[in-house]
Amino acid sequence: MMKAFALSLGLALSVVAAEVPRQSPEFVLNYPGGKQDLLSKHRGKVVLVEFLFTTCPHCQHTAGVFSKLQTDYGTKGFQALGVAFNDMAQMLVPDFIRDYGAKFPVASAGRDQVMTYLSLSPMERFVVPQVVLIDKKGVIRAQSPPLGDAKLQEEASLRTQIEALLKEGAASSAAKGATSSVAKKK
């Protein structure tokens, strides 16, 4: 009885905690060489984060997709990031970047930090990569469910989502620019 209650409580908490959209919590990115950054540093850009294991074939493939997206959208207000959190990730990140040609920053973090960010229970089963898409205002607009979502790994689907989020800020900026130039003429 108690086991069933704990299981249902855990499932209920994971469903509620990972609702999207929600504000992205702060997250510390630990880069090779000891440099640290905050995820919030990228606010104002559309950010796509791959939480990965350096040894995972799906993560390695997704890194290739993220590299293409970074190349195509990096100058348009987009930033791809990787966060490795498998055992010895900090030591393995430089080889991952080299071996899989990651054209975006790849950091490392502890498993507990990642699980908290993703709102996953430490007891919950999950797959990697876990992917999060954050808009320019720092709101998580898409997140992989614990057992994955192919749409957050497929290039065509990601392009559609990224392009829509890039346009969100552009439309309001263009309207503000038109308003301010009209105001200046008066």
- Residue range 21-177 forms a domain whose CATH class is alpha beta
Domain boundaries, the chain: 21-177
Q: What is the DSSP letter of 149?
A: -
At 56, list the tokens.
Answer: 């995972």
91 vs 172: which has the higher pLDDT: 91
pLDDT at 37: 97
Answer yes or no: are the C-beta atoms of 33 and 105 closer than 8 Å. Answer: no
Answer yes or no: are the C-beta atoms of 101 and 64 closer than 8 Å. Answer: yes
Distance CA 80, CA 28 (A): 15
Distance CA 161, CA 176 (A): 24
pLDDT surpassing 60 at residue 74: yes
pLDDT tier for residue 18 given thresholds of 50, 70 and 90: confident
CA 27, 143, 45: angle at the middle one, nearest 5? 60
pLDDT tier for residue 175 given thresholds of 50, 70 and 90: low
Within 10 Å of residue 170's Cβ, how many Cβ atoms? 12
